[in-house]
Amino acid sequence: MSETPWLERLRGGFKKTSDRLGDNLTGLFTKSTLDKETLDEIEDALVASDLGPSTAAKVRQRLASERFERGLTEAGVREVVADELAKILAPVAKPLEIDAFPRPQVILVVGVNGSGKTTTIAKLASLFLEQDYGVLLAAGDTFRAAAIGQLKIWADRIGVPIISGPEGGDPSAIVFDGVKKATAEGIDVLIVDTAGRLQNKRELMDELAKIRRVLGRLNPQAPHNVVLVLDATTGQNALNQIEVFKEVAGVSGLVMTKLDGTARGGVLVAAAEQYGLPIHAIGVGEGVGDLRPFNPADVARAIAGATGETQS
Ligand SMILES: Nc1nc2c(ncn2[C@@H]2O[C@H](COP(=O)(O)OP(=O)(O)OP(=O)(O)O)[C@@H](O)[C@H]2O)c(=O)[nH]1
């Protein structure tokens, strides 16, 4: 895939978010001077756009200290926002890399039901296939037959093998079989789906702990990654989920999905700022090609709606 279409998709995906920022900023540029009141209003507009109070404060500080030779414009503010966002996103942008031995590398994928977990597993698998890695999926969400069925459909569609068992079966048994199969067949990556039953935190915690124990016996370093999938449309609730899953699953990195369907894409920045967890990729659509490792500068510009023209 060439870069330009992806960049366009990225901008399209974040359009609702950048439009919301625009709506919040509208009407703030009627005065020629940047007084305290206007700065307050701009800061509030950024917070209202889900960018988080600390990002908003940083932008405010930059605006207060900068000289705007052509007067302050909305486009000028968007450039400053993009710049500050890029600084926050750069340290957390980290593609999911398969570099350690022994194989298989095991990736546990966690998240609440409906967050986009299954789709993300398929997207990650196809990213690995593009890099010539062998991939095996494990249907570890045995709680719902539909979850197993969905994953099978995706495995078929992208052409990767899958290990699954009956509804209600023991997820750690599936994971055990998965590691055995991957080891025997020299498969590089095992991606494990897990149940997202946050309603019963204790059971979920026990289930994940058991999966970890089983994995640890086969390979002390496994799981090599625990990826939390978050639905951006849930806004601030996505931040609470990080808190909970850090506790129940020991999250090592994030994927944020559905950034195309929401005006709340700013939550990606708030997550980066508050938790500093690696963000491996973002989902901007339902297709298998709609998940890409992200370039922090491009994402920052897409969220801010910065076009490079500082004159409105
Ligand atoms: N617009 C958009 N939709 C997405 C994205 N990722 C997933 N979806 C859609 O979100 C819905 C839920 O995705 P799933 O992958 O089934 O989510 P899940 O977390 O596995 O959900 P359960 O199977 O219910 O546990 C599906 O309709 C997906 O097509 C995305 O990045 N953008």
- 61 Cβ closer than 6 Å to some ligand 1 atom: no
Pocket test for ligand 1, best of 154, 227, 234, 286 (most atoms within 8 A of CB): 286
Q: Name the band, by pLDDT with cuts 50, 70 and 90, for residue 70.
A: low
26 annotated among ligand-binding-site residues: no
Going by alpha carbons, the residue nearest to atom 17 of ligand 1 is: 116
- 42 Cβ closer than 6 Å to some ligand 1 atom: no
What is the tens place of the pLDDT at every residue in 53-69?
Answer: 888 899 889 888 876 65
Report residue 162: phi and psi, to 5°.
-140, 140
β-pair partners for 231 = 257
Distance from the alpha carbon of residue 194 to the mean position of ligand 1, in angstroms: 14
- 283 Cβ closer than 6 Å to some ligand 1 atom: yes
In which region does residue 168 sit, left (phi positive, over 0), alpha (psi from -120 to 50) or beta (all else)?
left
Ligand 1 atom index nearest CA of 261: 1
Query: What does the pLDDT read at residue 262?
Result: 84
Instruction: Count CB-CB contacts under 10 A for residue 101.
Output: 9
What is the tens place of the pLDDT at every residue in 164-212?
Answer: 999 999 999 999 999 999 999 999 999 999 998 877 788 888 899 999 9
- What does pTM read for this prediction? 0.90
Going by alpha carbons, the residue nearest to atom 26 of ligand 1 is: 116
What is the tens place of the pLDDT at every residue in 224-278?
Answer: 999 999 999 998 899 999 999 998 889 999 999 998 878 888 889 989 999 999 9
Report residue 107: phi and psi, to 5°.
-115, 115
Kind of pairing, strands 225-231 and 253-257?
Answer: parallel
- Read off the amino acid at residue 274: Q
Compute the distance between CA of residue 300 and CA of residue 266 in angstroms, rounded to an integer. 10
Compute the distance between CA of residue 275 and CA of residue 270 in angstroms, rounded to an integer. 8
| DSSP E strand stretches across the chain | 105-110, 135-140, 162-163, 189-194, 225-231, 253-257, 279-283, 291-292
- 265 Cβ closer than 6 Å to some ligand 1 atom: no
Report residue 199: phi and psi, to 5°.
-60, -30
Report residue 110: phi and psi, to 5°.
-120, 160
50 annotated among ligand-binding-site residues: no
Mean pLDDT across the chain: 87
Compute the distance between CA of residue 181 and CA of residue 174 in angstroms, rounded to an integer. 10
113 annotated among ligand-binding-site residues: yes
Pocket test for ligand 1, best of 16, 119, 204, 259 (most atoms within 8 A of CB): 119
Compute the distance between CA of residue 293 and CA of residue 284 in angstroms, rounded to an integer. 11
Report residue 229: phi and psi, to 5°.
-95, 125
259 annotated among ligand-binding-site residues: yes
- 257 Cβ closer than 6 Å to some ligand 1 atom: yes
Tokens of 146: 């539909």
- 119 Cβ closer than 6 Å to some ligand 1 atom: yes
